[in-house]
């Protein structure tokens, strides 16, 4: 038998790794990114919805906790489910199903007649949100080139920033327009179906990625044809190579992969515990800061913070990540979060000074988006072998969403029991843990090919390779 020939795989994928940014990159970005716009809108609009529903449905604190966190708990399941399905069945086979869940869940939520059905429909939304994380992140990563992969994957996630902005903008427009509370909350939830529905067809028609065809199926011929179509280059290669092993145990029995998984999963968890707690409950934060303000004032304040701090943070991260590196940006973001939350915790009286509090709060938001909120999405799309990439990403995303769900569930109680300042102190401690974990567990992946970043060579075994053949593009 011939020796294993990693160069066969690299020969097929090299044109994809070296091509410049062209049309298919932007089409894939739009197809994936619109899902994240919807994810952010659906997840964060619930904070305003619960405020409107509290007097209408006489919601208790427990009811608020459940409504704030149900979609996030469901996202834990969705990320794991879709992450493993995409490894077993293929990216193309399941891509778009999560958008259908987002669309259906949003429409059903808008017509929910009571709390329990609303919780059920929000659970459906959450499954779709969770599934979108590994699906969109990995498909973008596997279609990217090595020099701009960080930018492209990050740009998909950066669409979340517009969702963060549009959510409070829609809420503010409805509240300022005199729409009744009983109608406004239904419109807020139902509008989330529109962007998700737009991309269903695009997602269902996207081609299978060459990385999956080659690594999971051993289909060198099919992978070469896709690369030729995308890059307009002719590739000479073997029609088949040995598929890489596809077992969940790979992530837990190999020390390199296990350490990486611990780094991606728990750094995402720490980030989301800090981020989602104060984001989903931003209206509660604003109320704790300014008890006499109206819901419209609080919503507009949140929107301004998202506009001047969060949205620029996403895009500055996307534009610099391939130069500064994923690890540097993640450490910097966690470090500034630690300092910002620490100031809100330790500086006497700042929690009662609206201007000073909001300034530091906005700084923390910028570095969340610039730092770990972006990089915790990029890292797992790169650092696991193709046959377990979905599972590795799914575990990481589910850990993040579990942290987010716990934070969103407990945040209303924490604000009452610990008050605003001590709650920020808890977030400072969590953020510092993110600094330490990133330093110890994660390696830089900028500039590497996807196969190099994921250490696929550790899985390759001797395989018979047939005589090379030339495939013409079509």
DSSP SS3 for 235: strand
| Distances, alpha carbon 460 to alpha carbons 1, 2, 170, 361, in Å | 15, 13, 51, 48
The first and second tokens of residue 389, run together, are 């990439």
pLDDT at 281: 43
pLDDT of residue 290: 60
Residue 374: the pLDDT is 95
The predicted pLDDT at position 74 comes to 94
Residue closest to 282 by CA, chosen among 267, 301, 263 = 301
In this prediction, residue 224 carries a pLDDT of 92
- Angle CA(19)–CA(23)–CA(24) in degrees, nearest 5? 80
| E strands present in 309-358 | none
The count of C-alpha atoms lying within 13 angstroms of the C-alpha of 43, restricted to the half-sphere facing its C-beta, is: 33
Model pLDDT, residue 440: 96
Beta bridge partners of residue 98, listed in sequence order: none
d(CA 341, CA 424): 5
Per-residue pLDDT of the chain (474 residues; tens, 9 = 90+): 344 444 688 889 999 999 999 999 999 999 999 988 998 888 778 878 988 999 999 999 889 888 888 988 899 999 999 999 999 999 999 999 999 999 999 999 999 999 999 999 999 999 999 999 999 999 999 999 999 999 999 999 999 888 878 887 888 889 888 899 899 999 999 999 998 898 898 898 888 999 999 999 999 999 999 999 999 888 876 677 889 998 899 999 999 999 999 999 999 999 988 876 555 445 555 555 566 667 677 677 777 777 887 889 999 999 999 999 999 999 999 999 999 888 878 886 765 666 777 777 778 888 999 999 999 999 999 999 999 999 999 999 999 989 888 887 787 777 778 777 788 888 899 999 999 999 999 999 999 999 999 999 888 765 444 444 444 332
Question: 397 near 133, Cβ under 8 Å?
Answer: yes
Q: List the structure tokens of 25.
A: 């990159």
Go through the domains of the chain in sequence order and give each one's CATH number. 16-450 (1.20.1250.20)
Q: Is 236 helix (H, G, I), strand (E, B) or coil?
A: strand
Report the 10 Å Cβ neighbour count for 197: 18
């Amino acid at each position: 038998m011939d020796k294993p020939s990693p160069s066969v795989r690299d020969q097929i994928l090299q044109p994809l790794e070296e091509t410049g940014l062209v049309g298919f990159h932007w089409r894939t970005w739009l197809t994936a990114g619109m899902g994240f716009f919807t994810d952010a809108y659906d997840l964060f609009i619930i904070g305003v919805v619960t405020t409107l529903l509290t007097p209408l449905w006489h919601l208790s604190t427990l009811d608020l906790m459940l409504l704030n966190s149900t979609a996030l708990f469901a996202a834990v399941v969705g990320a794991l489910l879709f992450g493993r399905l995409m490894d077993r069945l293929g990216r193309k086979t399941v891509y778009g199903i999560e958008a259908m869940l987002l669309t259906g869940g949003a429409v059903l939520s808008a017509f929910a007649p009571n709390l329990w059905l609303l919780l059920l429909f929000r659970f459906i939304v959450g499954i779709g949100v969770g599934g979108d994380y590994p699906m969109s992140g990995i498909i973008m990563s596997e279609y990217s080139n090595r020099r701009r992969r960080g930018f492209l994957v990050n740009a998909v996630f950066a669409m979340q920033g517009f969702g963060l902005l549009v959510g409070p903008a829609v809420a503010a427009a409805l509240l300022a327009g005199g729409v009744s509370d009983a109608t406004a909350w239904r419109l807020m939830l139902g509008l989330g179906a529109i962007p998700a529905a737009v991309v269903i067809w695009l997602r269902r028609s996207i081609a299978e990625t060459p990385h999956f065809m080659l690594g999971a199926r051993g289909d060198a011929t099919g992978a070469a044809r896709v690369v030729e179509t995308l890059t307009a280059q002719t590739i000479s290669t073997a029609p088949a190579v040995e598929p890489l092993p596809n077992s969940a145990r790979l992530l837990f029995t190999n020390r390199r992969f296990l350490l990486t998984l611990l780094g991606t999963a728990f750094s995402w968890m720490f980030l989301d515990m800090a981020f989602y707690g104060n984001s989903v409950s931003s209206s509660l934060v604003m109320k704790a800061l300014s008890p006499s303000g109206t819901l419209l004032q609080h919503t507009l304040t949140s929107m301004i913070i998202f506009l001047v701090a969060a949205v620029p943070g996403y895009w500055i991260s996307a534009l610099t990540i391939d130069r500064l590196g994923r690890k540097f940006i993640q450490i910097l973001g966690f470090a500034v979060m630690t300092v910002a939350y620490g100031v809100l915790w330790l500086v006497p009286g700042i929690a009662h000074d609206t201007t000073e509090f909001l300034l530091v709060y906005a700084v923390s938001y910028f570095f969340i988006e610039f730092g770990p909120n972006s990089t915790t999405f990029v890292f797992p799309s790169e650092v696991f072998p193709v046959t377990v990439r979905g599972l590795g990403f799914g575990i990481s995303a589910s850990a993040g969403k579990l942290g987010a769900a716990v934070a969103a569930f407990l945040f209303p109680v924490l604000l009452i029991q610990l008050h605003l300042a001590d709650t920020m102190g808890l977030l400072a401690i969590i953020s510092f843990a993110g600094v330490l974990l990133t330093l110890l567990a994660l390696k830089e992946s900028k500039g590497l090919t996807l196969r190099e970043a994921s250490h696929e060579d550790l899985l390759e075994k001797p395989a018979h390779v047939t005589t090379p053949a030339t495939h013409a593009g079509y």
